[in-house]
Structure 1
């Protein structure tokens, strides 16, 4: 199914043929679950999962779709001890025409490939993995909601399974994909706590890769944010308190900038920021509209506070696959509450336009788009 990095470099030939999505082995569950109507995000999983093993001697093995169930891992597994692991997140939607659509999944495959390289995990064929995911969706397609704006969340996961306590590149790995019902991730406008004493990512680190360690290390700061009645952390970086991400979201400011121009601005991809698929889509759409300036540039809390004081901020919002687009209602910074929304109606805001008009059109098939991948 997947390519072998050592084969590609010419150092050696794999001992088995490269597997393809057509080689999938399918073991169907004999006991299907009842599908609940309303669930919390990430708590109820579909009936089947995809898994494929890799080892340095044999390369990629035959991909398998089997009933959803526990993994069996060696106690010294490198993913458990040294966080040699990564994941992705994408969604499948049911269109008005009843067809199932993925939203820009090749961007997820590219990001997953980049993360795998950074984690010293083996290379894989992105199109073949996407083909296997498509087959998994087809098998569990009844889990995709038939009504409303609901969807099914897909979580490809890639872990090192080296059964050794040595800190080294793993000789064994497991790639698996699970899917769950996707209820609301955030239900209201978010409040953020901004304090530079905690750092989510740094130059030369892995902030631009989707690795679990980037998230587990944020829980302590999120707990402290709760003591300020905030739901998430607005992550700052450097002595000038650069705005980076909000919780697990990319951050956008829609404002009148220092030069008096209407602008949509978001921090640049400099190795600290995760290259979000929703982030890229927002930038692509806004540039296509050509109604205001669109920038990827450094933003600081000083600039934001000045814009708030001078009433130049139209809207601040976050974006991500799980939350899609979420407004930021307030920020606690230097012990003061900064209200980040003006009195304008959300229905007339940029985030509302992006979320309800454009993404709905693309994701649910109401408008032709090369951003969608039919299942």
Structure 2
């Protein structure tokens, strides 16, 4: 479980003029993704700060193949995260990357306020399904065209 403290100068590629411009993109070496109510997966677009990594690409491809929810690449702002939380529409927030594969986030300290994310409160968290599927493919437990057995 990852707890995130958002420092605009550290996590962002620019210093925002106002709190409304604070964009949540990456935590250390992980790309941030969120799940909104009505099953929408949102991840930041490639913009120079986000690397076009294999884990990110694989997760986007897998989730699109499943067809169980909409997958979008769009900017995620902290005011948007706050609003979704206040409306009860933010279901999960997680980081993805080569080292962590998928890591759930349960809290963000933003401008001195703790925002608690209900990631681990979901009956069947989507981030767990993503992690189990991707690592299952990587370790040969799940047959998939991306995994090739070498004799």
Q: Which TM bucket (shorter chain)? A: 0.7 to 0.9
5 Å matches for 1:199-218? 199-201=11-13
- 1:372 counterpart SS class: coil
* Alpha-carbon separation, structure 2, partners of 1:280 and 1:198: 24
Matched, 1:353 2:129: yes
Match of 2:61 among 277, 284, 296: 284
Aligned with 2:46 (options 269, 273, 280): 269
What secondary structure sits across from 2:24 in the alignment?
strand
| Structure 1 residue 279 displacement after superposition | 1.1
Q: More relative contact order in 1 or in 2 (CA 8 Å, sep 6+)? A: 2
Return closer, same or farther for 1:329/1:247 CA change in 2, 3 Å cut-off. Answer: same
CA–CA separation in structure 1 for the residues paired with 2:86 and 2:110: 14
User: Where in structure 1 are there 5+ consecutive unaligned residues?
Assistant: 1-188, 203-236
User: What's the TM-score once normalised by structure 2's chain length?
Assistant: 0.87
Shift of 1:245: 0.3
Alignment-derived partner of residue 122 in structure 2: 344
SS in 1 for 2:25: strand
**Structure 2 unpaired stretches of 5+:** none
Work out whether 1:195 is the aligned partner of 2:7.
yes
Q: Secondary structure at the match of 1:197?
A: helix
The separation in 2 between residues aligned to 1:360 and 1:267, in whole angstroms, is: 22
- Give the secondary-structure state (helix, strand or coil) at the position aligned to 1:287: helix
Following superposition, the deviation at residue 193 of structure 1 comes to: 0.5
Judge conservation of contact 1:250–1:276 (CA < 8 Å) in 2: no
What's the CA shift string for 1:55-74, capped at 9, x where partnerless? Answer: xxxxxxxxxxxxxxxxxxxx
2: CA distance, partners of 1:242 / 1:201: 9
Aligned: 1:362 with 2:137: yes
Deviations 1:254-295 (A, max 9, x none): 012xxxx43100000022211221111111011111111100
Q: How does 1:210-359 map to 2 (within 5 A)?
A: 238-239=16-17, 240-256=21-37, 261-341=38-118, 343-345=121-123, 348-356=124-132, 358-359=133-134
8 Å contact kept, 2:11–2:27: no
CA–CA distance in structure 2, aligned partners of residues 320 and 374 of structure 1: 24
Q: How does 1:1-375 map to 2 (within 5 A)?
A: 189-201=1-13, 238-239=16-17, 240-256=21-37, 261-341=38-118, 343-345=121-123, 348-356=124-132, 358-374=133-149
Deviations 1:218-253 (A, max 9, x none): xxxxxxxxxxxxxxxxxxx64411111012101100
Contact 2:25 2:50 in 1 (8 A): yes
- Kindly provide the CA deviation profile for residues 181-213 of structure 1, in whole angstroms up to 9, marking residues without a partner as x: xxxxxxxx11000122335546xxxxxxxxxxx
**SS of 1:284's equivalent?**
helix
- Normalised by the length of structure 1, the TM-score is 0.37
Provide the C-alpha distance between the structure 2 equivalents of 1:312 and 1:278, rounded to a whole number of angstroms: 26
User: Judging changes above 3 Å, is the alpha-carbon distance between structure 1 residues 238 and 293 closer, same or farther for their aligned structure 2 residues?
Assistant: farther
| Partner Cα distance (1:280, 1:324) in 2 | 12
Task: Give CA-to-partner distance per residue, 1:3-42, whole Å, 9 cap, x none.
Answer: xxxxxxxxxxxxxxxxxxxxxxxxxxxxxxxxxxxxxxxx
Answer with 1 or 2: which has the greater Rg.
1
| Cα contact 2:12–2:24 (8 A) shared by 1 | no
